[in-house]
Structure 1
Amino acid sequence: MGVWVIPADVLARGRFAVSPLSETVAALLALARGETRPGREDWLRAHAPAFRRRLAADPFAAGFVRVALPPRWLPDLLVTPPLPGDRTFHDELRRVRATPPEAALADLAEGLNGPPPARLCVPDLPDRVAGLLDWVWTHTVRPEWPRLRRLFEADIVSRAQALGSGGWAAALDGLRPGMRWLGDGRLRINANPYPPRELSGAQLLFIPTTTPRGWVGWEEPRRYSVIYPATGLLAGPEPAGPPGAALGRLLGPARAAVLGQLGSPLSTTQLVALTGLSLGSVGGHLKVLREARLVHRRRSGRLVLYYRTALGEALATGREAGPAWDAVPGEPGPGDRPRGRAAGDRPRGEAARPGRET
């Protein structure tokens, strides 16, 4: 499983996509493990108490979370790639409910290296797992899904631009910790010494989420997915308060929204995805913000990235601070490559299924 061998036609058909179920699984993992990425700490603190109460009231859910979500592995019913026709969370959730119970139990047994606990050996296991996912979606993901979707779409735009300028190596290198594009159609998923996996004739998806590490999933032999940490999570809306409200009155709501998103360097196409404004409107607002010395720009490869000046930072946040990106000619900035830890994957054990490592 350490290397996927991807034929040229499969790679050419590969695409980036947004999956509400994948983000729900990322939220479930964060709540179950008590860890998340920088910028998501407030979200975790806000939802963790209700999640603990949910588990306390449901022994099955508590047992599933305890034994089915260990580090470096996830059960199949959580990670099956979305179908091309899936448009909503419930489109994807229906496939979780439709998982044969015996297949779900066999997968848990393989991951656990032994039989699952008796409380999980129930004929409606997939339906109960779907109920837990539905709760996580409804209470913790759906309230902020419009914003998260814009962030994920902005990340996809950035990846597509990297793909166009530097090929698959630029788009996939470091997509998730331990992943590397090796060339000649070989994508290293992790450093574990498993036999190469051939993806002939398959559909290949790359899906951004708020996960700190990511995972891979498949429905053999036709569909494979790589779930990876999206960039730009800190580029969300500014905290509510007097500076934001006053900024809207001073600059106008659209121009203030553009300035507010530039806490980290972004391209015009990313700003279009994040704000919902047209490309021409974003370009016009950036021109005014640059003339007012609230925004600088810098080229990174074929991209032009915009970021707040010290004055723009103070105006947008109410705090005196340096620019989000010090423009030093010839030096790469934080927008030049995906964020993420450099840690590699660790093997989970020879008997454990290697394909669902997080």
Structure 2
Amino acid sequence: MVTAVALGPYTIPFSNTADILLHQFGIGEVSAPEAEQAIVASIRLPRIALALIVGAALGVAGAVMQGLFRNPMADPGIIGVSAGGALGAIIAISSGAQAAFVLALPAMSFAGAGGTLALVYAIASVGGRFSMSALLLCGVAVGAFIAAIISAIILFTENLEAQRDMLFWLAGGLDATRWGDVHLSLPFIAFGVAISVFLSRDLNLLMVSEDEARSLGVRVGLTRNTLLAAASLITGTAVAFSGTIAFVGLIVPHALRLITGADNRVLVPLSALGGGVFMLAADTLARMVISPAEVSVGIITALVGAPFFLMLLARNKARASML
């Protein structure tokens, strides 16, 4: 955090950074210039806070999804929630609602994510027979359909500035973060993360088998649906405030699983910490690569995540051939 606060287009000495941060917590006096204090308090600290929150959300959602689907290649967007959130945001930008109302974009993005989850779950439950494989297939189909709608909206938007805003948002970024975004997103993400941690033991049993979990007293349907809702809630909230940021939910839980093992009682809370650290590091790098301009943080995470995903795929394929 100290490094992230100090680095940027306007570099702040580490000694001044430490003084300002300590002063934010009521410790000591600050001798740094007022301009540096304003940059830290109003621009960099809220951005760092949101990076930690969004990274924690995506890390936990990835761990939960990988546990529910029993697949280390699952990620928070696997059932189309991220795509639904992106559609809501694109509509807010293209319609001009974002310019008219400052909270229109996160509100419509959140509504899109929630609506997509409800739609996918309803389709997967047609006929009264729900299964995780049906949910996965429905999520892929609905996600592809939504992606086509997003492409059509961008293509037929005549306002070039709105097109640029939509493309920049889809790449994912934290450049316009303010404390209001942190205050709005934190309660939803904290609630979803708390539920996921609380049900992490039951998630362990669900990973073994649903019959085994049921025999040990787990209410399988309720637990599974609650975990799905929690993961979708925190994913939708993250997308609403940061755009679509790929691979954090894939990389972090899997890397930690190699270190700590598959016990979700350890993995889920550590994924929150690891996701926050990874996201903060990626955002700091995004600000520094072409300073004073910046790269979208979603590009940085994708450049790291795509090779990792391919490596994971090749490793799983090699294991399958050995069996």
Shorter-chain TM-score: which interval? under 0.3
TM-score, normalized by length of structure 2?
0.26
TM-score, normalized by length of structure 1?
0.24
More strand by share: 1
